[in-house]
Structures are given as structure tokens and as C-alpha cells.
Chains A and B, each alone.
Chain A
Amino acid sequence: MSAPAASDHSPAHGHAEPSKLHIYVQIAMVLGVITGFEIVLVYLPLTRWIVFTALAILSTVKFMFVIFYFMHLRWDKVFCTILFFIGLVLAGGTMWALLHLFGSEASKPLSSAALEIARVALT
């Protein structure tokens, strides 16, 4: 992937904003290919955790490409990145906490029989 031309031509040198068309088109192609690969991946006879990890990594790569290139974080002040990542980390932390909390053994719903035994014990 070619380096962004923006860094070479700042407006201070009297140039108009350089076109990033080629970068955007290349990234869109990469995103399309990754999406296609993700779809194929779930049908491959691989171990579940390998596919799961691969899907998580590929989604993260797509996510990062969009925020850093299409959303211009790569060229903007770093404060924009920090601001967005505050929200992202809080959201990710909440998701992690909720999934661990409700994924634990104690959080699993009781079966009908166990529920009946619990009712009888309470009465």
C-alpha cells in the first residue's frame, strides 16, 4: 500500500489537498477481500477456536482500516484517536465484563427439574 500523499503536501506549502483516491480504493478492495475470506472461513473444517480467533482478528483489521483511513484518524490530531478510543475501551470493557459475568457457571439458568427442587426447598 502506498504511503499517504498528505504528509508530503501541507497547505503551508501552497498546495491544494492532495487526492487520496488510490489509497481509498486500495483499502476498499482489501476490506472486500477480507469480508469474502471471513465468509469462506466459517465453512472451513477448522477447529472452532481457530476460526473464532481468525474472525476476531480480521474484524479488528477491518475496523482499524476504516477508522484510521476512511475516518482520517491517521491524518488528524492524536486527540481525536484518544477521544474515540476512550469510548471504545469503555464499550469493550463493558462487553467483556457482561460476557464473563453471564457466561460463568453460576449464571447459567436452572433446568426445569432444578427449578422445581428449588421451589420445593423454599416452600
Chain B
Amino acid sequence: MSSHAAAGTIDHHHDASTSTGIPNKKLLWWAFLASDCMFFGTLISTHLVYRLNPPPGNAEPTKVFNIELTSFSTFILLMSSLLMALAVNAIQRGQVKSMRTMLLGTMFFGCIFLGGQVFEFSHFVHVKKMTLSNSLFGSTFYTLTGTHGTHVAIGVLLLGLMYVRSFKPAHSHGTFGDLGLTLFHVLAVCTAMGLSFILIIPGFLDMLESGSGLGAFFSHHTMPLIGLAIAGAVLGWFAKTSGNSDFDQRNAIDVEAIGLYWHFVDIVWIVIFTAVYLIEYL
């Protein structure tokens, strides 16, 4: 635990140095999230307006949706929110290693959600023949859920950057060597996450659906799995060789800010899950 944590002198909910008493970063994020509410509000409205008056030949949602997969994705996103809250809780108590574990867990769950969405979109296009342009339902559905998925992907990237930031050496001189190592670390995180949600998780879900077995999954995804193993080994090496880092309880506001964004994508999905998916089954 850092000296700050031991002294317990940081108030994470109030900042006496600002006129509002709220840390500026937090205020900025809340203002951004309020504006993002309106953005998603219009996207959800557009989808629902066209569902009220569907044109002839529109796709039939209940024949297209896979509610089991979507429910699983919803549960995963809720649990990722729990891990994110625990990451913030850990860094507020000065527990950097615990925070890193929780951040990795949040990123992993985020990748499962994104992988589920990649699989879902691919299934809808290739099996259900619903594309962005061949039905109004497809247009509004892909625009809405795709925008949300993009938000989740940005969230995973931000979490990855925060994870790498937590390894910044306490006595860094800002040399090219330090910068190169940091970039290499970021590359390893991005590779692991990208391979997971673009290829490996959709492939795994495809295997579960088709019942082709683990052997077929490994043979079809050998290269992505090797890439993931290498990226994982690099991340493990960084975690093991890192010394004292310039990251402690004072950085809790940074983690909390990313956390606000992450929880926001979760609450947007809570609305989308009900308004777009569940209502269709009534």
C-alpha cells in the first residue's frame, strides 16, 4: 500500500481545490455522459419509431434474434461492471496489483461481450440474411447496437491504456527506451484483446453452436491462439519484471473516470436489451 493509502488523506468524493468540490476530471466525464445519453436516446427512438410502423417485407426480429446469446452477453456486461467497481475500490485503497487484476478481468469480460456481438452480427448477415441495407429493421438495429459495441470497444482500449499506465516506473526518465517498452506493452494488450474478440471468442461460439468440437476449433484458430499466447506471455513478463510504479491512490480519479464510462455502456445496454430485444417477444 502506498504512503497515501496508509495515511488515508485522500478524499475520493470531494476536491477542495475546485469551486464545485468535484474533481474536474469527474465533472468532465459526467457532462460527457449526459450528452451521450441524448445521443443514444435518439438512436433508440429511431429504432423504436420504425418498429412502430414496420414497412412491408421487414425482417422478423424474433426469427432473427438469439435471445440466449444476448442474455448471456447482458449478464457478462453486468459482471464486468462489478469488476470495474472493484478495480476502482482497490485503487482507492492503494491496492495496485488488485486493481490490475480487476482491470484485466473487466477487459476480458468486455471482449467476451464484443466477441458475442461479432458472432451475432456475422450470424445475422450470413445465416439470417439480414444486412445493413436490405431491411429497415437491419439498418436501425445495426446502427444502434453497432454504436454501442463501438463504445464498448473504446472502453476496452481505455482500460488497456490505464492498465499499461499503472506500470509506469517510479523513476522514469522519459527515454526512448522507456517509451518503446510502453508502446510494446500497449501493443501486447491490444493484440490480446483484438484477437480475442475478433477471432477467438466468435470462433468458440461458432463451435458451440455448430457442435464441431474443440479439435476443429483449435485447428481453425491455431494462429490467433498462438498470437494470444505470445501476447499473454509478454503481458506476464511485464507484470513480473515491473518494479515500483508511479501509480497509487492519487491516480484513483483516473481509474474512476474510465469506470464511469464503462458503467455508462452497461446502463445503455440495460435499456437496449429491454427496448430492442425483450419487447419483441411480447
Q: Which A residues lie at the B interface, using CB under 8 A?
A: 6, 10-12, 14-17, 19-21, 24-25, 27-28, 31-32, 35, 38-39, 42-43, 48, 51-52, 55-56, 58-59, 62-63, 66-67, 69-72, 75-77, 79-80, 83-88, 90-92, 94-95, 98-99, 102-103, 107-109
Contact of B81 among A38, A43, A66, A107 (CB under 8 A): A66
Shortest C-beta distance, B68 to chain A (Å), equals 9
**Residues A70 and B84 in contact, CB atoms below 8 Å apart:** yes
Instruction: Please give, as numbers and ranges, the residues of chain B lying within 8 Å of A35 by CB-CB distance.
Output: 71, 74-75, 78, 273
Shortest C-beta distance, A10 to chain B (Å), equals 7
Shortest C-beta distance, B43 to chain A (Å), equals 10
User: Provided the pairs A70-B81, A77-B14 are in contact, do residues A109 and B279 lie with their beta carbons within 8 angstroms?
Assistant: no
Instruction: Please give, as numbers and ranges, the residues of chain B lying within 8 Å of A58 by CB-CB distance.
Output: 274
Shortest C-beta distance, A47 to chain B (Å), equals 10
How many A-B pairs with Cβ below 8 Å?
168
**Residues A59 and B274 in contact, CB atoms below 8 Å apart:** yes
Q: Size of chain B's interface in residues, with CB distance under 8 A? A: 67
Over the window 30-57 of chain B, the binary record of Cβ atoms lying under 8 Å from chain A Cβ atoms (1 yes, 0 no) is 1101111110111011101100110100
User: Which residues of chain B from 166 to 210 have a CB within 8 Å of any chain A CB?
Assistant: none
A-B contact pairs, 24 of them (CB 8 A): A6-B13, A11-B9, A15-B8, A17-B10, A17-B12, A20-B89, A28-B82, A31-B78, A32-B79, A48-B282, A55-B278, A56-B274, A59-B270, A59-B271, A62-B270, A63-B267, A66-B270, A70-B266, A71-B263, A87-B35, A91-B40, A95-B42, A95-B44, A103-B52
